[in-house]
Structures are given as C-alpha cells and as structure tokens.
Amino acid sequence: MIPPGLQAYAGRGPEWAAWLERLPGLLRDLLAEWELTVDGDSRHGNTALVLPVRTTAGRQAALKIVWPHWEAEHEALALQHWHGAGAVRLLRADPHRWALLLERLSTEDLSDLWDVEACGVVGDLYRRLHRPAPPQLRTLSDQAARWADELGRIDRSAPVPHRMVQHARSLAADLASDPATDGTLIHTDLHFHNVLAAPHGGWVAIDPKPLSGDAHYELAPMLWNRWSELDGRVRDGVRDRFVALVDAAGLDEDRARDWVIVRMLVSIKGELLDNHAPHRDWITAMLAIAKAVQD
C-alpha cells in the first residue's frame, strides 16, 4: 500500500525514514479500527499518503495519512469548520495519528481549465472558505514578524535586488502589526491542483495549510503554479491572473499586491538561506511575479 515514490522519501532524512517505517502498521491499525476496506491503489503527494477505501456502509472514501509537520497540524480543524462548504468533507479524524477520513473526490482538477477561468473558480472558493478563524490556529502576524526578521539576513551579494528585499521586509513588518492580518480562516495553499471536482458537482478545495490570517494573503500559489504556461508573456499573464483573482474574490488590489510581494521574497529567502544549492530559475520566477504585480 506504500507507493515506491513515497518510499523514496526516506532519503529526505531520519524523521521521514522513521515515519515511513511506521506507516504500514499505522495503515493496518486504522483500516481495522475504522472498519474500512481498501478500494483501489494508493497515491501520494509531497507530504501524505491517500488510500481509496470503503466504509462498512459501502460509502466511497479516502484515508489520508500526513507526515507530521506544523503546516498540516490543523488541517482536520479547518475541514471540520468548513463542513464541506467549499472544501472536501471530513468524515472522521485522528489528529494524534495525523489521519483523516475524507469523502472521495474525482481526480479532475483545474489543470485543464484556461488559467484565468480557473482563477475565477478559486476566487469564488476564497469567498466560501474565508470566515472567522477558530482560536486554535497559528496566526499570520506571527509568521510575518518572523519573515521581517529573516529577510534581513539576506546578504547584499545575493542574486536579488536589495531594494526589493528591503521593500518586502518593510511590508512584512507593517503587516505583522496590522490587526487585519489575523482573524480569517485561510487555506494558504489553494492552487490549480488543490481544487478537485466534487461528486455532487462543482469544485472543492483540498489540502489546506490553515492559518488565522488575511484573505489577501491567498493569491501567490495561483501565480507561481503552471508557470511554464506564462513563457513569453510573464508580465501580462501574471497580471491577468492577479486581476481575475482580486475581482472574483472582491479583494483590495493594493493589499493583495503587498502580500504577493512579501510571499515572493519569502520564497526567495527560503531558497537562499535554506538550500545549499539555490534554484536560480525559481528565484527568477519569484522576482518576475513580484515585478509584474507592481507594473
């Protein structure tokens, strides 16, 4: 039940290797305790295994087990809060074992839609998902304060204009102290591949990395995914997506722009400070997006 591609993640380090060693037993325990039968081949993403199952009542479902990491610690809480309105429906959860039983969705995502049309779908989902955040969630203001500090560690010799780093750092510091930065339940990783067709019709979000934050923070993943499609028209393509998202969700363009700039430079910061061999093409793409939304 463990795909070879997921098994290969043992090379990521000892924590991954230990989790993968425990995973078969965890799967067996959950299948027995929740009285589930396997109903297809397992799949995996970057941090989770998903196994098609059926309940004793014959309902199709999906058993998801997540590699423990802080971004996913409140996934079940967010899904419970949305209760199937704009997001995949949660049927059961064991947060201590990072296990979720979800309604089974189609594998159809937004990949085949025109990207601007897909932005309209996602903008509508923002409206449905954004609601008062439960108090247990981590706050975006804490993240922004940390980023303001970390952006200051980027050396002037780094392959990124220092003025852009300073601009993003200033924005992050201002947003960290803004009361409007917290209080809204946000998905934070909503993009073309994290929206699936629901069996009852329409589109729903999956794989949230929830925070108590600001609706305007959401846009960045829709700008950097399907990046190769923008080859030759990066400025106009990014602008088209940005405007479509802002309009569909009814957001303030200036505030959304500020968060895009911060997220692009934070992504660059991660490449420069956390990777021994920074991905230069990714840095170039992030800079291009930050510049495009300011034109």
Catalytic residues: 189
Distance CA 197, CA 56 (A): 25
Report the C-alpha gap between 184 and 180 in whole angstroms.
Answer: 9
Token output for 133: 């955040």
In the chain, the amino acid numbered 164 is: M
Assigned token pair, 132: 């008062």
Pairing label, strands 60-66, 203-205:
unpaired
Rounded CA-CA distance 98/85 in Å is 22
Q: State the alpha helices, DSSP H only, in the chain.
A: 4-7, 14-33, 75-82, 115-129, 140-151, 162-176, 220-224, 234-249, 253-274, 280-292
